[in-house]
Structure 1
Amino acid sequence: MQLQVENSPFNQEQTDYLNHLLPTLTEAQRIWLSGFLAVPVTMEAPAAATATAALDPAEAQQNAQKPAARNVTILFGSETGNGQQVAEDMLQKLEEKDMDVTISALDDFKPKNLKKVEDLLIVTATHGEGDPPDNAVAFYETLFSRKAPKLDGVRFSVLSLGDESYEFFCQTGKDFDKRLEELGGERLYSRVDCDVDFDEDASGWIEGVFGVLRESLEVPSADESTPAAQLETTSLTADQPVYSRTNPFRAEVLENLNLNDQGSNKETRHIELSLEGSNFDFEPGDSLGIFPENDPELVDALIARMYWDPDESVPINKQGEVRSLRNALLTNFEITKLTKPLLEKAAQLFENEWLSALLKPEQEEERKAYLDGRDLLDFVTDFELGDVSPGEFVQILRKMPARLYSIASSYQANPDEVHLTIGTVAYHAHGRDRKGVCSGQCALRVEPGEQLPVYIHRNPNFKFPADAEAPVIMVGPGTGVAPYRSFLEEREEAEVNGKTWLFYGDQHFASDFLYQVDWQQWLKEGILTKMDVAFSRDTAEKVYVQHRMQEHSTELYQWITEGAYVYVCGDEKRMAKDVENALLTIFENEGQMSADEAGDYLKKMRQEKRYQRDVY
């Protein structure tokens, strides 16, 4: 519901501010704000002075000896929402101890105010090839410019989220950590770098930072109250289990269909899962996490190559839980991707001159070439590795990461279901045919009636406007169209008819037009106002979504100047960059802007949440 002057006690300027602010608030921020507004504000200084004077002299002296409370500022940079979730977990822990704490996305915080901060905690992801996430770009650029403030007296700690399979693992966090020290900050707790399985390391960072803050503020130890984990456990009942990333729900597969017609070069699965009994809800823009299984043929070949017993028990976590080797390799460990950290750990486990040589700095290009497209079976075969127990070997493997897929259905329209659009990854490399772990499982080994372990992944950085009248422009080639199906299905359920414009692209009209019937029906009903398509292989010269955008540049720019929100979902390396360049060109040509002005305009749209991306 939008505030209006007519239905509220606020004037027009105030309602505009509130309507812009309220949809951006997290659940924790809403709860804090409601509590803050519920407390009467008092300016009775004399009464406060009287209360202070009434203290027992000994108590007054004790209070005088306590160190003054330092404010804690938590800033997060998050592409998919993980960083924001960890930051909010830290916020909750500090607020439970009545600490003076504030939280903000990095792009919503003015870097010049850093000099006013006392204790600074930064939680940040790294995107792509070492880049900061979208909601941290402006802060990052300022921090590394001459405008960056001196941070004398500021204490800081950084938590980095990343993926070890990328060359620049946790680079943004490493950059922040180094720069804050260069600017004069004091490190209050060492930086922690987390892989995709970040829960345990992130919890350790939270506890470590909290311990330092507790010591400096003389806050009662955690033993004096019920730990958060214990509170969560005691609140659960057998009738109301809470499913999450660490306790996924086993969802039954209802449908598993190939959306591509005969003659297509692609295979795109439409999967419908039952959420009955999960207590899940979600919004358009959110994702579903799936914990996949490795291909049994690959697992059996690896076990056979190492001459292991598939029934031998091996540990699967630091808590000492054990499973059979075959089961652990199927469900618990990643075996389809090689990384430099894996090679380094293997070099400590195996004596192998070739492997040691490959890890030398001067062999960087050769190492990258070897890692590309190979899996664990290739690795143990190529280096003739052996003579190691399964229990030792699995210690060097990283946990199986969940795969995130944009939800393609509306919770309001289908509360007991969730729909996904999954493109099957298939390729031939190094003498073998290979498939993506999760997409291959869904394409070949998942039938209706079977179950997949899943959880809801909130994505606060890809949220559609709360204002139903705001124009919406959606760009999503291929499987990138999934969140827009969710959004339009929800608008249909709510009987909302604001202006919407979809740019969709794929290879062939006849075989690759995903959800064609849905789009046509929504166009007929007015749920979808406009749709422009680009099928790259149907014409002599390839045409993509960015070309369609430029063809309609005048109208597109008019929509944007009227307040339209622009969403981009899909491939990051090419499509997302091409679309962004197209937008900048449209701003320059239609808005008579310089290149710098166009860049600033797009940056402002991002800060206003009117330009959002979900790219991979």
Structure 2
Amino acid sequence: MTTDLAAALAVLFASQTGNAEWIAKHIHEEALARGYNSTCHALDDHAKANLTGDNAIIIVASTTGDGDPPDNATKFWRWLRRAKAPELEGLKGKKYAILGLGDTNYSNFCNTAKRLEKKMTDVGAVPFTPRGFADDATGLEAVVDPWIETLWKALPQVACYDEEKAKAFEERAEKDGKFCLKIGAEKESVAGGADADAKKENGETAHSIDIVPKSTDGKDSAPVSSVNEVSQTTNSGDSGDKSSVANAFLAPLNAEEHDLLDAVLFTPVPIVVSKTALDSATQLTNVAKIPTEFLDVDLADQGRPIEKSVMLPCHMLDTQSMESPFDYTAANPFKAKIASVRCLTGPKALKRVLEIELNITGLGWEYAPGDAFGIVCPNPDGLVLPLLKRLSLEPTQLLRVTAKGAAALQGLPFETKTPITVYEAFKYYLDLHSLPKKSFLRVLAEHTSDPTAKKTLYFLASAQGAGAYRDLRPQQPTLLDILHTFPNCQPPLARLLETLPHLQPRYYSVATSRLVKEHSVTFAFNTVEYRTPAPYNKPMAGLCSTWLDVLTGKNSAQNVRVQLSDKELYVPIFPKPTSEITTPFQLPEDPSAPVIMIAAGTGITPFMSFLAHRHHLCSSGTSSSSFGAMWLFHGRRFASADGDALYESDLDTYVKVGSLSRLLVCLSREDVTPDQIRYKYVQDGIRALGAEVWDLVHERGAYVYVCGSIAMAKEVNQALADIIVQNEGAKDGVEALTLLADLGKKGKYLKDIWT
């Protein structure tokens, strides 16, 4: 090897939901297995990675919101923006590769990765492989998997590696990277790679398994659900006695566990796999690699009773006060006590909306209107306990988890003050709801004794099974659903801890001003309930919203505030850091600038903090003439008070006293006549008042804020473009969209949107 090769790899990630972190860590683990000297860190821990040292850099970066960097990249951006030339000199000529994760439903696709790429170019770093931009709207794996394969091909010319380890890895990869289905009258077998070809020459069958199911009772094993079985297999989610399913399939829960179950016991629903492509396949190619093993897991003889493990207990957290509120994170949150709850909607509403007030005394967070915070929510006991039964794991046993091999230098997948129990690991740390990655399905295949199930799992993890794998997304299976589908699958605990993604926090905007109540914060949210698309029709519930609803007593009395300060109810939270590369979703620094707020449903939440802040200032003696106009377009379904008129009395007050200059309510489910001057959607209201809206923006320098779903934001964006053209602010739609993009770059057109 030549001496100009880098001595090591530094794998860095910027991750909001865990996808980028998972990909980066598995690149790192495979790099170690291939013989590279590798480290892996979040971008905020860039100092540990020694970016200016003798290493090549691999970055996996996601984008959150409408172009914002993830929270664990904010400190890195701050350093990068403020670093002096000598500090960045070590990046000149540095070899790097970058993979961006994004969603083309948003206008600033892969914005974090693009900004990083530009900055690396500006400081003189050199890419050693083409960038990759993966789209979550169509499936990340379509770009991620080929990009990683290209990465491995390029790295030998970039960094030093152990040739013996590399050779051993390639031999293993060649052996299990390709599976050939040999179809016979009596049986089928799966054979793998070059080893199989060599052994066939000697009359042997390599890496072969029987595919025809064998059973001790003379019956065939139950097959995985197929497409024509949908009506029989996917509606079990809300029919019948749910406890009977647990008793029959998952084994009885003991009395202690039954008492701990929250709102619902999850009934496993088999996944539906279309095997048309499998039936016609002669071989499976590009089967996902088996992830590297890097953990040793032992179960201690002693345990901890489950009742001491509920509600994110103190023994799992470092409860000392932090110097800064931003030192609290998802891994080490602040325990906020629930002060009160009220239901904001009436019986006519299609969704219940709750508002919760938290006491944050001791946090020291001087939040601004529009700021947000994360909530660390647990998995429900109704899923965790049956799942542990299915895996034959004792919930109360303490875990001893240690990293092995080269990965030992990188620490554990989760760290706590004291050892945690099996129950705590599954309740607080592991994501049991997200779409399984192909590599995880490969792991399941390796630990499945039934040949038919094994072949189906190999298929889902292969190129030939790409369509069937995509069809899993609308089914939204839990880990329990998948294991129920493959009853002979029994993955080891260590493999689950290594390959399952981590449970991610949920973010909420503040709905009030700290000027109103200094040590308190309120937020509002829908209690999420829905069904997966037809033909699956599986009932679903939001993870965090359901937990908060159950925790606060499932209140439904409209606008009745229920005081909960006398109860010991806590929510683990942490402030969401503001980005240094994008304008925060906050009021303009110039209070005289007009503000146009556009929202649908609970998207009104941050605007209530805007209005509460402005109203308090006006009530405290500041002349309302000192402030710019504030307009609010709010979309909801119903006009009547017993529907979804969120914060109606507050808004009426703000209008009466002049804190809110203009309120336009748009009603999507009401038949209204033109003389009522009401509109169906917020974009209709924007178009109707187009001349006035454009005057506020163009002549008076208004700031425009949009909060709601991505679908609503797209319609609003088009409506704004239309009124710009109609009022001769642009010659055509293309120029108008460019103008809006420029306003966004200037921080005068801000969006807080979600899919």
Residue 257 (structure 1) aligns with: 342
Give the alignment partner of residue 108 of structure 2, picking from 116, 126, 133. Answer: 133
Residue 608 (structure 2) aligns with: 485
Measured after TM superposition, the shift of residue 409 of structure 1 is 1.3
Residue 435 (structure 1) aligns with: 541
Q: Match of 1:513, as an amino acid?
A: A
- Give 1:49-448 correspondences, 5 Å limit: 79-80=64-65, 81-83=68-70, 86=73, 88-89=75-76, 91-92=78-79, 99-101=86-88, 126-129=101-104, 133=108, 136=111, 154-155=125-126, 167-168=139-140, 242-314=327-399, 317-318=412-413, 322-341=419-438, 342-350=440-448, 352-372=454-474, 373-429=476-532, 430=536, 433-447=539-553, 448=564
Q: CA deviation digits over 1:434-488, x for unaligned, max 9?
A: 2111011112233533101000103444232100011111111011111101111
Which structure 2 segments of 5+ residues have no match?
1-51, 161-319, 402-411, 554-563, 619-623, 674-678
Q: Distance in 2 between matches of 1:77 and 1:463?
A: 23
Q: SS of the counterpart of 1:597?
A: helix
Contact 2:595 2:630 in 1 (8 A): yes
Q: Match of 1:457, as an amino acid?
A: K
Q: SS of the counterpart of 2:430?
A: coil
Quickly say closer, same or farther: Cα 1:123–1:509, change in 2 above 3 A: farther
Measured after TM superposition, the shift of residue 535 of structure 1 is 1.4
Quickly say closer, same or farther: Cα 1:248–1:585, change in 2 above 3 A: same
Q: Distance in 2 between matches of 1:87 and 1:294?
A: 28
Q: Distance in 2 between matches of 1:237 and 1:537?
A: 49
- Give 1:461-476 correspondences, 5 Å limit: 461=583, 462-476=585-599
Q: Match of 1:588, as an amino acid?
A: V
Q: Distance in 1 between matches of 2:512 and 2:414?
A: 38
Q: Distance in 1 between matches of 2:671 and 2:648?
A: 20
Residue 598 (structure 1) aligns with: 736
Q: Match of 2:608, as an amino acid?
A: R
Residue 194 (structure 2) aligns with: none
Q: SS of the counterpart of 2:659?
A: coil
Q: Distance in 1 between matches of 2:81 and 2:660?
A: 45
**Greater Cα shift, 428-437 or 588-597:** 428-437
Q: Distance in 2 between matches of 1:121 and 1:410?
A: 44
Q: CA deviation digits over 1:131-167, x for unaligned, max 9?
A: 6737949978x98xxxxx9999643599999998982
Quickly say closer, same or farther: Cα 1:422–1:85, change in 2 above 3 A: same
Quickly say closer, same or farther: Cα 1:377–1:571, change in 2 above 3 A: same
Q: Distance in 1 between matches of 2:501 and 2:517?
A: 36
Q: Match of 2:659, as an amino acid?
A: I
Q: Distance in 1 between matches of 2:159 and 2:612?
A: 48
Quickly say closer, same or farther: Cα 1:98–1:128, change in 2 above 3 A: closer
Q: Distance in 1 between matches of 2:354 and 2:132?
A: 34
Measured after TM superposition, the shift of residue 552 of structure 1 is 0.7
Which structure shows the bigger proportion of residues in helix conformation?
1
Measured after TM superposition, the shift of residue 170 of structure 1 is 11
Give the alignment partner of residue 502 of structure 1, picking from 629, 632, 635. Answer: 632
Quickly say closer, same or farther: Cα 1:153–1:490, change in 2 above 3 A: closer
Tell me if 1:552 matches 2:689.
yes
Q: SS of the counterpart of 1:532?
A: strand
Measured after TM superposition, the shift of residue 370 of structure 1 is 2.1
What is the CA RMSD across the aligned residues, in angstroms? 4.5
Contact 1:333 1:399 in 2 (8 A): yes
What is the aligned residue count?
480
Measured after TM superposition, the shift of residue 387 of structure 1 is 3.2
Quickly say closer, same or farther: Cα 1:535–1:600, change in 2 above 3 A: same
Q: SS of the counterpart of 1:614?
A: strand
Quickly say closer, same or farther: Cα 1:590–1:343, change in 2 above 3 A: farther
Q: SS of the counterpart of 2:714?
A: helix
Q: Match of 2:739, as an amino acid?
A: Y
Q: Distance in 1 between matches of 2:81 and 2:745?
A: 27
Contact 1:130 1:171 in 2 (8 A): no
Residue 575 (structure 1) aligns with: 712
Larger Rg: 2
Contact 1:164 1:339 in 2 (8 A): no
Identity level (%): 23
Measured after TM superposition, the shift of residue 362 of structure 1 is 2.9
TM-score by length of 2: 0.56
Q: SS of the counterpart of 1:362?
A: coil
Q: CA deviation digits over 1:37-95, x for unaligned, max 9?
A: xxxxxxxxxxxxxxxxxxxxxxxxxxxxxx9xxxx9x9x99545544762533654997
Q: CA deviation digits over 1:187-244, x for unaligned, max 9?
A: 899xxxxxxxxxxxxxxxxxxxxxxxxxxxxxxxxxxxxxxxxxxxxxx878988533
Measured after TM superposition, the shift of residue 583 of structure 1 is 0.8
